[in-house]
A = this chain, B = another copy of it.
Amino acid sequence: MSKPKRHVFFVSDSTGITASTLGKSLLAQFEDNVELEFTTIAFIQSIEQIEDAVKKINEYAKTSEYRPIIVATLIELEYRHILTKANALVIDIFGQFIQPLELELGLKSSHAIGRTHNYSRGEETLSYYNRIEAINFALQHDDGASIKRYEDAEIILLGVSRSGKTPTCLYLAMNFAVTAANYPLVAEELTEGLPPILRPHRHKLFGLTIAPENLQRIRQQRYPNSSYASLTTCQIEVQKIEALFRQLQVPYINVTHTSIEEISAMILKQTGLKRFFK
């Protein structure tokens, strides 16, 4: 039996990131039994635009077996009111939570559109520079490309080739302004202990490991049928690097079946590195 198909619209006066992040989290609870399709309608900034959005959603509803689901982040009360005219289940995030916060804080919300991310408007500040600097740092120190400023790194990731070091460094930089470097331990280095260049930074090292079968599939995508991508190579490298991590007491996590978001959050939790907010 095929799964019922449900269409989800993320409707926002800003980027739609909050609506889609929350909507996907909620709907992940049902994904074994529903097929989901997503559309984002972002930067709604006038009555006309919200009315257009409702029209579009209602057009869709007419041709569809089930009514759509809307997940909305709209500050303006009037926009939220117009949205209720859609033939859809409306998950109205701000409608639900702004009021209890107003009561708790004893304040009225500013109803300021474009305030839906506090790392945004009006900031030529530390927050922008910090993120950009962290991204530049990750790019310059990717894959051992430069080791000049290892002393400025907050963390140095170790792992075999294709274990996810680069995307993790970039994610940590982009989202948390963490200055992260990574060093690719090549096969020959794995049995020689820690390379001299890393020795002064031992307390910053953090390891990634991965199931050899998955590593093989990832490498296979890149260099099909190479010795690099063979299961034997993957098994040997993973075995050696895990032995090295244990020998050197480098903390490490297994990233098999783990998203970049999860790897990054696990690293922050284990290392106690501060998340960067605002």
Contacts and interface: CB of A to CB of B under 8 A. Distances in A.
Q: How many of chain A's residues touch chain B, expressed as a range?
A: 35 or more
Contact of A29 (B110, B123, B171, B221): B110
A25 interface: yes
A229 interface: no
Interface stretch (A13-21, A56-64, A195-203): A13-21
Total copies of this chain within the assembly? 2
B170 A40 contact: no
A27 B122 contact: no
Contact of A91 (B25, B100, B107, B117): B100
B122 A257 contact: yes
Interface in A144-178: 164, 166-167, 170-171, 174
A104 B25 CA distance: 16
A139 interface: yes
A84 interface: no
A18 to B, nearest CB: 4
Contacts of A257: 120-124
A273 B248 CA distance: 46
Contacts of A217: 124
A57 to B, nearest CB: 15
A101 B262 contact: no
Contacts of A271: none
A226 to B, nearest CB: 17
B174 A119 contact: no
A2 interface: no
Counting chain B CB atoms within 10 Å of each CB, which of A21, A40, A100 scores highest? A21
Given A18-B21, A29-B115, A261 B120 contact: yes
Contacts of A31: 115, 118
B266 A43 contact: yes
A179 interface: no
B17 A21 contact: yes
A262 B75 contact: no
Interface in A14-53: 14-18, 20-22, 24-34, 36, 38, 40, 42-43
Interface of A: 4, 6, 14-18, 20-22, 24-34, 36, 38, 40, 42-43, 69, 73, 75, 89, 91, 93-94, 96-98, 100-101, 104-105, 107, 109-112, 115-124, 128-129, 131-133, 135-136, 139, 142, 164, 166-167, 170-171, 174, 214, 217-218, 221, 257-262, 264-266, 268-269, 275, 277-278
